[in-house]
Chain A
Amino acid sequence: MLLAEEVRNYIMRGLPCDYVAVHGADGQHFEAVIVSPEFTGKNMVQQHQLVYKALGDRMKVEIHALSMRTFTPEAWAITGNEMTQER
């Protein structure tokens, strides 16, 4: 069964990231928060496409669904703090 930690490694191998957190325990559905400088200047669709590209064929075969929130380092500096405070 695919572990959240493996999905995290796949993403980090294919995309330079400042921060990646992946949750999900059923082996098919995962939730991720991804912060990458590569996202700068790109819209949400393009940001998600970069993550999908990093995962490649695994998106077709192993992963049924990956819910994600993507942030540039600048946006994360604001939102990341807010999210941490929520908990």
Chain B
Amino acid sequence: MSAQEKIRNQVTGSPVVLFMKGTPQFPQCGFSGAAVQVLKACGVTDFVAVDVLADPEIREGIKTYANWPTIPQLYIKGEFVGGADIMRDLFQQGELQKMLEQAAG
């Protein structure tokens, strides 16, 4: 399976998937940590976190997948939502909460 196929399976396999550096408990980058905090603030506890540091193929492949050169990256129902800045903005607008509720329902 190619890295791109692997990523497609990951993002479509769960409603909420966060590609990050490190784990939710131990983020290895401030932006990944911030992304986890935003999800938690939205009341999401059962999201899937993929540690890109654990897999170099995923780490590079995810940048091509969404044409997005940075990590973290949030996917809801297989759709790329954005990185840490966009997550914060959507959260402040109340939009992210709605998107996450719809994904859970």
Contact = CB atoms under 8 A, between A and B. Distances in A.
A48 B82 contact: yes
A44 interface: yes
Given A65-B70, A66-B70, A45 B82 contact: yes
A68 interface: yes
A59 interface: yes
Interface residues of B, number: 16
- The dominant DSSP class at the B interface is mixed
Contacts of A52: 68-70
B85 A48 contact: yes
Interface residues of A, number: 12
B67 A48 contact: no
B69 A67 contact: no
A73 B80 CA distance: 26
Contacts, number: 33
A60 interface: yes
Q: Which of B81, B85, B86, B90 has the most CB of A within 10 A?
A: B85
Nearest to B71: A65
A65 B85 CA distance: 11
Given A60-B69, A65-B70, A48 B86 contact: yes
A52 B80 CA distance: 16
A44 B86 contact: yes
A29 B67 CA distance: 20
B91 interface: no
A69 interface: yes
Contacts of B82: 44-45, 48
Interface of B: 29, 31, 63, 67-70, 80-86, 89-90
> Which 9 residue pairs across A and B have the least CB separation, nearest first?
A59-B69, A44-B86, A52-B69, A45-B82, A67-B85, A68-B85, A65-B31, A49-B67, A60-B69
